[in-house]
Amino acid sequence: MIGAEAIVKCLEKENTEVIFGYSGVAIDPFWNSILDTNIKRILIRTEQNAAHCASGYARISGKVGVCAVTSGPGATNLITGIATAYADSIPLVAITGQVNSDMIGSDVFQEADITGAVESFVKYSYLVRNVEDIPRIFKEAFYIAGSGRRGPVLIDIPYDVQMAELPGDFVYPETISMRSYKPTVKGNMVQIKKVIKEVEHAKRPIICVGGGVHLSQATKEIREFAELNHVPVVSTMMGIGVMPSEHPLYFGMVGNNGQPYANRAMNESDLLLMVGARVADRAVNRPDLITENKVMVHIDVDPAEIGKNVGPTIPLVGDIKHIFRDFLEQDDHPDDHSDWLRTLEEYRDKMESDRVPDYALEAYAEPRDFIRRLSNAMKDDAVYVADVGQNQIWSCAYHIVKNGRFLTSGGMGTMGYSIPAGIGAKLADPSRQVVAVIGDGAFQMSMMELATMRQYKVPVKIVVLKNGFLGMVREHQHYAYNDNYSMVELKGDPDLSMIAAAYGMEYRKVDGNSDIDGELEEFLANDTSGLMEVRINPMELTKY
In the complex, minimum distance from the CB of residue 392 to other proteins, in angstroms, rounded to a whole number: 27
If one asks whether residue 119 binds other proteins (CB under 8 A), the answer comes out as yes
Main-chain phi, psi angles of 271, to 5 degrees: -140, 120
If one asks whether residue 127 binds other proteins (CB under 8 A), the answer comes out as yes
CA distance 52 to 46: 11
Closer residue to other proteins (CB): 307 or 430: 307
In the complex, minimum distance from the CB of residue 89 to other proteins, in angstroms, rounded to a whole number: 12
In the complex, minimum distance from the CB of residue 106 to other proteins, in angstroms, rounded to a whole number: 18
Closer residue to other proteins (CB): 50 or 153: 153
Helices (H), 125-218: 134-146, 159-163, 189-201, 211-215
**Helix, strand, coil shares of the chain as percentages rounded to 5?**
40, 15, 40
Sheet of strand 383-386, all strands in order from the earlier edge strand to the far edge: 405-407, 383-386, 434-439, 461-466, 530-535, 506-510
Closer residue to other proteins (CB): 300 or 387: 300
Per-residue mark of binding to other proteins, 128-157 (x: CB under 8 A): -x--------------x-------------
If one asks whether residue 302 binds other proteins (CB under 8 A), the answer comes out as yes
CA distance 473 to 271: 36
Please give the size of the binding site for other proteins, defined by CB under 8 A: 19
If one asks whether residue 288 binds other proteins (CB under 8 A), the answer comes out as no
If one asks whether residue 308 binds other proteins (CB under 8 A), the answer comes out as yes
In the complex, minimum distance from the CB of residue 304 to other proteins, in angstroms, rounded to a whole number: 4
Chosen residue from 124, 398, 456, 507 binding other proteins by CB under 8 A: 124
Closer residue to other proteins (CB): 121 or 250: 121
Q: Which stretch binds other proteins (CB under 8 A): 176-184, 282-290, 347-355, 445-453?
A: 176-184
If one asks whether residue 504 binds other proteins (CB under 8 A), the answer comes out as no
In the region spanning residues 384 to 423, those forming contacts with other proteins, defined by CB under 8 A, are: none
Chosen residue from 115, 245, 263, 375 binding other proteins by CB under 8 A: 115
Closer residue to other proteins (CB): 62 or 307: 307
Q: Between the CA of residue 32 and those of 24, 28, 123, 309, what are the distances in Å?
A: 11, 6, 28, 47
If one asks whether residue 304 binds other proteins (CB under 8 A), the answer comes out as yes
In the complex, minimum distance from the CB of residue 458 to other proteins, in angstroms, rounded to a whole number: 34
Closer residue to other proteins (CB): 218 or 301: 301
Chosen residue from 120, 353, 431, 484 binding other proteins by CB under 8 A: 120
In the complex, minimum distance from the CB of residue 131 to other proteins, in angstroms, rounded to a whole number: 17
Sheet of strand 65-69, all strands in order from the earlier edge strand to the far edge: 40-43, 18-21, 65-69, 92-98, 152-158, 124-127
Q: Between the CA of residue 441 and those of 182, 326, 383, 472, what are the distances in Å?
A: 43, 46, 22, 10
Cα-trace Rg, the chain = 24
Task: Report the run of H or E that residue 475 belongs to, with start and end.
Answer: helix 471-480
In the complex, minimum distance from the CB of residue 180 to other proteins, in angstroms, rounded to a whole number: 4
If one asks whether residue 180 binds other proteins (CB under 8 A), the answer comes out as yes
Closer residue to other proteins (CB): 178 or 228: 178
CB atoms within 10 A of CB 35: 9
Closer residue to other proteins (CB): 84 or 446: 84
Closer residue to other proteins (CB): 125 or 537: 125
If one asks whether residue 535 binds other proteins (CB under 8 A), the answer comes out as no
Region of 305 please: left (phi>0), alpha (psi -120 to 50) or beta: alpha
SS3 126: strand
251 neighbors 234 (Cβ within 8 angstroms): yes
Closer residue to other proteins (CB): 311 or 518: 311
Closer residue to other proteins (CB): 113 or 335: 113
If one asks whether residue 491 binds other proteins (CB under 8 A), the answer comes out as no
- In the chain, count of helices (H) and strands (E)? 21, 18
Task: Report the run of H or E that residue 350 belongs to, with start and end.
Answer: helix 338-351
Which among 238, 184, 231 is positioned nearest to 205, based on CA atoms?
Answer: 231
Write the DSSP string, 298-339. Answer: EEES-GGGTTTSS--SEEEES-HHHHHHHHHHH-------HH
If one asks whether residue 480 binds other proteins (CB under 8 A), the answer comes out as no
CA distance 492 to 77: 26
If one asks whether residue 303 binds other proteins (CB under 8 A), the answer comes out as yes
Amino acid symbol at 542: T
If one asks whether residue 307 binds other proteins (CB under 8 A), the answer comes out as yes
**472: exposed, middle or buried (C-beta count within 10 Å: 0-12, 13-18, 19+)?**
buried
In the complex, minimum distance from the CB of residue 152 to other proteins, in angstroms, rounded to a whole number: 13
Which among 325, 269, 278, 282 is positioned nearest to 299, based on CA atoms?
Answer: 278
Closer residue to other proteins (CB): 179 or 491: 179
If one asks whether residue 179 binds other proteins (CB under 8 A), the answer comes out as yes
If one asks whether residue 177 binds other proteins (CB under 8 A), the answer comes out as no
In the complex, minimum distance from the CB of residue 303 to other proteins, in angstroms, rounded to a whole number: 6
If one asks whether residue 286 binds other proteins (CB under 8 A), the answer comes out as no
Closer residue to other proteins (CB): 154 or 470: 154
If one asks whether residue 381 binds other proteins (CB under 8 A), the answer comes out as no
SS (H, E, C) 235-261: ECHHHCCCCCCCCCCEEEECCCCCCHH
Footprint of other proteins on this chain (CB under 8 A)?
115-116, 119-120, 123-124, 127, 129, 144, 178-181, 302-304, 307-308, 311
